[in-house]
């Protein structure tokens, strides 16, 4: 009978470094039950008392050539098990909270998939949470995780595969920052990672731009109309454009750069904008899907109870109780102004990552920025305004490129702009978690990214 015992594998990460350990369970029979498809779950040690959880699923097809895709959810501090069980993973948890059904639109139909809980303290990851207090410090530990994984016999064959980085929400920061760190080679013994594509779903890129979009979206959400009454919109406008309002404070944050005073300036700006722009914008709505009743949300959270079942934890090798969005990582990011602490986790902060994203676009890397049309928090108007503000060679062309409908079997599913290897996609009838609401559309878009195609109808 399968016992789910973690198997420790000790490897030397770099010459002269302390050995790192991967503790894993292979083929737990949880979630991915497709015959002959390997899955591996467990922990990789990325520092002293820092155990990072991963769950890997082999591609169901094209085993010798399928790419390797990293999926990260945002927060900061929200588990990538959200993506696995609610968006694009191999299975969906049933209403009994104790069984699963295979997901026909799983992304491991096309790619090897790995889901990682980072930073430490997120999901099943555990240990010292004090070492990561910003996007930049988090990037280093994810890079370390892949150095350990790709040096092991478990994953070495994937190190040369095309690497796709897919993320969402706060991933608007993770994407540009982690991408640069993943491709960097810090020494001759480092394992190079061939990064080929970046996908960011409903991302948070630039607070100055996206705070304005909260007002714009509340005034008129395309396809849904005005969300808030006139008097609320007026108060939001005053708070946004006032003499010491949100915009003034955000600009002060940008001007402060990374000076010693910047953390406090940026945190104060963030807090003010959240209180006076964000909360009024989402009042009365589910922040991630304006179409929904706040008391009955979709997709359901059945998977959380499932992952806390003792027999499931034992089989997959989980060592701590699962937390979907943990407070500790968010609190650490708040100390540097990289995020403001709030238990409802609206992904936000007062720093911009557009320069880094612009640099990646200038490199002609395959990039997809996409967003569901019903998300208020990281709404598509803000995402679109952010990409229009990017400083890259395709800026003028993007401004002059009209949206065109993407259809599947003649049915419009999204509006698309393509400029060379860059695509912006506004997905119809989808909330914050696009693959959860439009799984067929998401899988088709993922396929076209893998094939390095401009997005088109099928």
The continuous run of DSSP H or E covering 8 comes out as strand 7-12
Write phi, then psi, for 414 (nearest 5 degrees): -165, 165
Q: Count other C-beta atoms under 10 Å from residue 267's C-beta.
A: 21
Phi (first) and psi of residue 268, to 5 degrees: -65, -40
Collapsing DSSP states into helix, strand and coil, what is residue 398?
Answer: helix
Element holding 333 (H helix, E strand): helix 327-334
- Say if residues 252 and 242 touch (Cβ distance below 8 Å): no
218: left (phi over 0), alpha (psi -120 to 50) or beta: alpha
What is the C-alpha separation between 18 and 94, in angstroms, rounded?
Answer: 43
Q: Are 443 and 105 in contact (CB under 8 A)?
A: yes
Under DSSP, is residue 242 helix (H, G, I), strand (E, B) or coil?
coil
- For the record, the structure tokens of 376 come out as 């208020």
CA distance 432 to 375: 5
Q: For strands 68-72 and 163-168, give the pairing.
A: parallel
Cβ-proximal residues to 22 (8 Å cutoff; 6+ apart), any chain: 8, 9, 11, 42, 43, 44, 45, 148, 149, 152, 154
The residues carrying an active-site annotation are: 169, 375, 432
Q: How far apart are CA 158 and CA 153, in angstroms?
A: 10
Q: How far apart are CA 444 and CA 313, in angstroms?
A: 33
Cβ distance 18 to 77 under 8 Å? no
Strand partners, 54: 42, 116
Token code pair at residue 394: 């395709």
81's enclosing H/E stretch is: helix 81-82
Q: Please, are residues 53 and 107 in contact by the beta-carbon 8 Å criterion?
A: no
Those residues with Cβ within 8 angstroms of residue 152's Cβ, 6 or more apart along the chain or in another chain: 9, 11, 22
């Amino acid at each position: 009978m399968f016992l789910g015992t973690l198997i420790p594998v000790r490897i030397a990460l770099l010459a002269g470094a302390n050995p790192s350990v991967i503790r894993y369970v292979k083929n737990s029979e949880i979630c991915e039950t497709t015959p002959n498809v390997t899955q591996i779950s467990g922990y990789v040690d990325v520092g002293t008392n820092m155990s990072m959880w991963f769950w890997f699923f082999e591609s169901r097809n094209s085993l010798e050539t399928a790419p390797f895709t990293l999926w990260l959810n945002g927060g900061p501090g929200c588990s990538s098990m959200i993506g696995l069980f609610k968006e694009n993973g191999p299975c969906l948890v049933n209403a009994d909270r104790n069984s699963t059904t295979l997901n026909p639109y799983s992304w491991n139909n096309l790619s090897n998939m790995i889901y990682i809980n980072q930073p430490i303290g997120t999901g099943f990851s555990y240990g010292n949470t004090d070492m990561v207090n910003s996007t930049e410090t988090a990037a280093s530990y994810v890079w370390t995780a892949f150095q350990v994984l790709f040096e092991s016999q478990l994953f070495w064959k994937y190190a040369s595969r095309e690497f796709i980085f897919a993320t969402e929400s706060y991933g608007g920061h993770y994407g540009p920052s982690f991408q640069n760190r993943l491709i960097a080679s810090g020494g001759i013994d480092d394992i190079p990672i061939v990064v080929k594509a970046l996908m960011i779903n409903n991302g948070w890129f630039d607070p100055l731009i996206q705070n304005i979009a909260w007002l714009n979206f509340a005034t008129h959400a395309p396809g849904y109309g005005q969300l808030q009454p006139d008097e609320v919109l007026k108060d939001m406008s005053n708070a946004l454009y006032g003499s010491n309002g949100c915009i003034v404070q955000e600009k002060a944050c940008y001007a402060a750069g990374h000076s010693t005073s910047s953390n406090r300036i940026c945190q104060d700006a963030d807090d003010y904008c959240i209180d006076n722009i964000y909360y009024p914008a989402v009042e009365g709505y589910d922040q991630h899907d304006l179409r929904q009743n706040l008391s009955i949300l979709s997709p359901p959270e059945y998977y959380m109870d499932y992952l806390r079942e003792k027999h499931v934890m034992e089989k997959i090798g989980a060592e701590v109780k699962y937390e979907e969005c943990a407070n500790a990582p968010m609190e650490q990011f708040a100390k540097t102004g990289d995020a403001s602490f709030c238990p409802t986790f609206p992904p936000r902060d007062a720093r911009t990552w557009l320069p880094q994203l612009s640099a990646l676009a200038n490199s002609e890397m395959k990039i997809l920025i996409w967003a569901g049309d019903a998300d208020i928090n990281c709404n598509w108007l803000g995402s679109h305004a952010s990409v229009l503000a990017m400083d890259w060679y395709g800026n003028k062309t993007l401004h002059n490129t009209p949206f065109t409908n993407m259809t599947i079997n003649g049915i419009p599913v999204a509006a698309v702009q393509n400029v060379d290897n860059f695509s912006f996609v506004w997905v119809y009838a989808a909330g914050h978690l696009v693959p959860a609401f439009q799984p067929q559309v998401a899988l088709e878009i993922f396929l076209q990214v893998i094939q390095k195609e401009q997005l088109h109808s099928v």
